[in-house]
Amino acid sequence: MHAVPHATPDSDDLRRLYAHVRGRSLALAAPLSAEDAMVQSMADASPAKWHLAHTTWFLERFVLARRPGYAPFAPEWDVLLNSYYQSVGPMHARPRRGQLSRPSLEAVRDYRHEIDTRIQARFAADDLDDAARRHLLLALQHEQQHQELLLTDIKHAFWCNPLQPAYRDDLPHPHGRIHPQSWIDVDEAIVDIGAPPWPGEDGFAYDNESPRHRVLVPAHALAARPVSNGEYRGFVEDGGYREAAHWLSDGWATVQAQGWTRPLYWHEDLVHAHTLGGRRPLDPAAPVCHLSYYEAEAFARWAGARLPTEFEWERAAAALGPPHGHFADDDVLEPQADATQSDGASATGMPVQLFGDVWEWTSSAYGPWPGYAPWSGSIGEYNGKFMVGQWVLRGGSCATARGHIRATYRTFFPPDARWQFAGVRLAHDR
């Protein structure tokens, strides 16, 4: 029921998806107090209250307000809730969102309820044309992105608190079996990469995923699974954070400037970490996460390998069919070890955990595909203007909504970003 509908979904399917996504945001915020929901622990993060309000503003601005004469709920909030849409109007500075004690959390929930009521009235009247349904689907995809950010941002906020409280103390904490790493040989081929422009017949895709085009992928080997906590701990214990030879120049400068000695959230004993369930023992078999691009690239050098290109990654993912893995819907909210492997190889001879658990850094800079064209209007600011100084990650994480991810999905962060559930899969040339 929660799979992503096609480009112009049936109204009943879209209505069910709407109820699920909007309800999920409130459920994720439910464990938070009003004080929790206002915290902003760094400039890259946002308060949970702002995520709840901004996603509602996006719905109102890009779905409801498309109709001439629409009366906005609180037009004075535009400057507070606009993120980066310059064509829409001015905005409150991102690093200062934690200063917004008003509107209150209660007022934000009232705002969500009112906009949901207005959208449901449009559904009931069968008053959503194809264009409105497309914008609504985009708004729901956008909200699913912010659901993941809500989790990663509150995890960082609670880590900054000396008490390091749990977001939820009822989260399970599975431990897996450690399997040896194995490699999958891939022959050279010309492959199709990316998605057709949306809207189309192949389902939703962001504009940065298109157009579909052909790429020569050289012969290579891809690791069967992501790098584990135990393997990364070997890098730390071997002095990986003290040896400049492993690091890109900017990465080494960042290590020194920031005093990095281990992954974000790891305790100095290297056997415990801060999680959304509080401080817990590290599972050596689970995928390592909260790595920057710099750390992922340095580990790969230390291991005598490299990061895969996003073309290599997408080629492998496309062969697996619909995404399958550990997602936020599983309600674990930490990466898990894969249970399908046998000793020395994946049980299917195919890579595992390409989807879910951890986003995987690639060696590809974030840029446009050949023939890329941003969407028209204000929503054209969604992706294209960030195509500089960023690196591509693929696959989703344990905080990503199931049904949100696909083989062509490209997310991006600057190389020093660590607070996302980002890990690493190795590759090497053949």
Q: Give tens-digit pLDDT for 154-163.
A: 999 999 999 9
The confidence score (pLDDT) of residue 342 equals 54
What are the residues facing 221 on neighbouring strands? 185, 428
- Tell me, yes or no, whether 172 lies in a domain: no
pLDDT, tens digit, 9 for 90 and up, residues 109-120 = 999 999 999 999
The confidence score (pLDDT) of residue 377 equals 85
User: Is the same domain home to 153 and 217?
Assistant: no
User: Is the same domain home to 267 and 339?
Assistant: yes
Residue 2 pLDDT > 60, yes or no?
A: no
CA pair distance 273, 253, nearest whole angstrom: 25
CATH number at residue 76: 1.20.120.450
- Tell me, yes or no, whether 46 lies in a domain: yes
Q: Label residue 96 by pLDDT band (50, 70, 90).
A: very high
Q: How many domains does the chain have?
A: 2
Cβ contacts of 64 within 8 Å, gap of 6 or more: 70, 115, 118, 119, 122
Q: In the chain, pLDDT over 90 holds for what percent of residues?
A: 87
* Number of DSSP helices (H) and strands (E) in the chain, helices first: 9, 13
Q: Label residue 321 by pLDDT band (50, 70, 90).
A: confident
User: Is the same domain home to 226 and 137?
Assistant: no
The confidence score (pLDDT) of residue 1 equals 31
Last residue of a domain, one of 105, 125, 160: 160
User: Is the same domain home to 195 and 340?
Assistant: yes
The confidence score (pLDDT) of residue 80 equals 96
Residue (of 205, 413, 393, 405) closest to 313 by Cα position:
393
φ/ψ region of 259 (left if φ > 0, alpha if ψ in -120 to 50, else beta) reads left
Residue 374 pLDDT > 70, yes or no?
A: yes
- Overall average pLDDT of the 280-298 stretch: 98
More confident site: 345 or 24: 24
User: Is the same domain home to 246 and 331?
Assistant: yes
Task: Tell me what the pLDDT averaged over the chain comes to.
Answer: 94
Structure tokens that stand for 177 in this block: 């079996």
Residue 347 pLDDT > 60, yes or no?
A: no
Question: Contact 430/219 with Cβ under 8 angstroms?
Answer: yes
User: Is the same domain home to 314 and 373?
Assistant: yes
Residue 8 pLDDT > 70, yes or no?
A: no
User: Is the same domain home to 214 and 100?
Assistant: no
Q: Label residue 379 by pLDDT band (50, 70, 90).
A: confident
User: Is the same domain home to 156 and 233?
Assistant: no
- Overall average pLDDT of the 365-375 stretch: 94
Residue located via tokens 């009931």? 124
Residue located via tokens 């290297």? 270
CATH number at residue 289: 3.90.1580.10
pTM of the model: 0.95
User: Is the same domain home to 234 and 133?
Assistant: no
User: Is the same domain home to 230 and 353?
Assistant: yes
What CA–CA distances, in Å, run from 250 to 125, 179, 254, 256? 56, 33, 6, 10
User: 315: how many CB neighbours lie within 10 A of its CB?
Assistant: 21
The confidence score (pLDDT) of residue 105 equals 98
- Overall average pLDDT of the 265-285 stretch: 98
Cβ contacts of 186 within 8 Å, gap of 6 or more: 217, 219, 220, 221, 222, 312, 315, 316, 430
- Tell me, yes or no, whether 167 lies in a domain: no
User: Is the same domain home to 225 and 366?
Assistant: yes
- Tell me, yes or no, whether 170 lies in a domain: no
Residue 90 pLDDT > 60, yes or no?
A: yes
Q: In the chain, pLDDT over 70 holds for what percent of residues?
A: 96
User: Is the same domain home to 52 and 140?
Assistant: yes
Instruction: List the domain range (segments joined by +) for residue 372.
Output: 183-429
DSSP 8-state class, residue 286: S
- The sign one gets for the Cα dihedral 412, 417, 423, 427 is positive
Last residue of a domain, one of 127, 160, 193: 160
Structure tokens that stand for 77 in this block: 């909030």
Question: Contact 413/389 with Cβ under 8 angstroms?
Answer: no
More confident site: 294 or 347: 294
- Tell me, yes or no, whether 176 lies in a domain: no
